[in-house]
Amino acid sequence: MKYLPYKALALARKELYSYSISPAFYGIGVFFLLFTSLWFFYLQRFFSMNTATLRPFFEAFPLVFILVIPVITMKSWAEERKLGSVELLLTMPFSEWDLVLGKFFSSLAVLILFMALTIPVPVSLFPLGFFDAGVILGEYAGTFLLGASATALGLFLSSLSKNQAGAFLGSAVVLLVVMLVSQLAMTFNLPLWLTECLNFISLSFHFESFSKGLIDTRDLAFFILTTALFLFLNTRVLIFRKWR
């Protein structure tokens, strides 16, 4: 029978309401916008580059996601587990995929909202030079895929944590590693096989082609498969808790 995610969407609406009344939601949103803007205009000195490119702007996203994603995902499962409501959810007529996708859709919707709020930055720069709209769309597509993969990872780590603090710290540390591990290959003279392994597990490495406005099918497949993998692992954690 064909799977219809209407239950997951109903759960996602409930989660979005909880985000809307959370001070952390507004705080991390402001941080996200300030960090990306300051990185682009002041740290990367856009107006001194004399080049019509937004690549430095999108290079900030892997860095800011290290803190933003954990804040978005930390309470998704850890808080449910702390309050004991996860057991109630598991007894309701929802499948594990309904629960996981509901959490995922709501977290991803928040991230998409934050990304949408950055659109005025490139729009405001259009009169200053010729910016390739296709390249910018590719960069936003890569940012979305990067965010989806990181969000799925953050939700999985939240399902393993007992409280929000542990979920935040665990997600931040793991995201720091998978975002920046490829820098080791650039900094140190490592063997080729080790460099390839580090690049393969690095989310930021697979994001590089998108930050240039290029869509590499290998990187596209990587983000889709890693997102699906972490969502699947999340359902396995729920099944383990359900039958423990």
Residue 93 belongs to some domain of the structure: yes
- What confidence score (pLDDT) does residue 25 get? 87
Assigned domain for 60 exists: yes
Query: Would you put residue 213 in left (φ > 0), alpha (ψ -120 to 50) or beta?
Result: left
Q: Is residue 132 part of a domain?
A: yes
Q: Please state the pTM of the whole predicted model.
A: 0.90
Domain of 147 in residue numbering reads as: 6-243
Tokens of 62: 């892997």
- pLDDT for position 145: 95
pLDDT by position in tens, the chain (length 244): 445 567 788 888 888 888 888 888 899 999 999 999 888 888 777 767 777 788 888 889 999 999 999 999 988 877 777 766 666 777 777 788 888 999 999 999 999 999 999 999 888 888 877 778 888 898 999 999 999 999 999 999 998 888 888 889 999 999 999 998 888 777 777 788 888 888 888 998 899 888 887 888 999 999 999 999 999 999 998 888 766 6
pLDDT given at position 4? 53
Residue 83 is predicted with a pLDDT of 67
Are 180 and 187 in contact by the 8 Å Cβ rule? The answer is no
Structure confidence at residue 68 (pLDDT) = 94
Is 15 part of a structural domain of the chain? yes
Does 17 reside within a domain? yes
In this predicted structure, what is the pLDDT of residue 3? 55
Which residues, in sequence order, are CB contacts of 70 under 8 Å at separation 6+? 154, 167, 168, 169, 171, 172, 175
In angstroms, the CA 156 to CA 100 distance is 9
Instruction: Name the token pair of 119.
Output: 């659109």
- Cβ partners under 8 Å of residue 76, min gap 6: 15, 103, 107, 155, 158, 159
Instruction: Note whether residue 1 is domain-resident.
Output: no
Question: Following DSSP, what letter does each residue of 59-111 receive, concatenated?
Answer: TTHHHHHHHHHHHHHHHHHHHHHHHTHHHHHHHSS--HHHHHHHHHHHHHHHH
- Report the number of distinct structural domains present in the chain: 1
37 is a domain residue:
yes
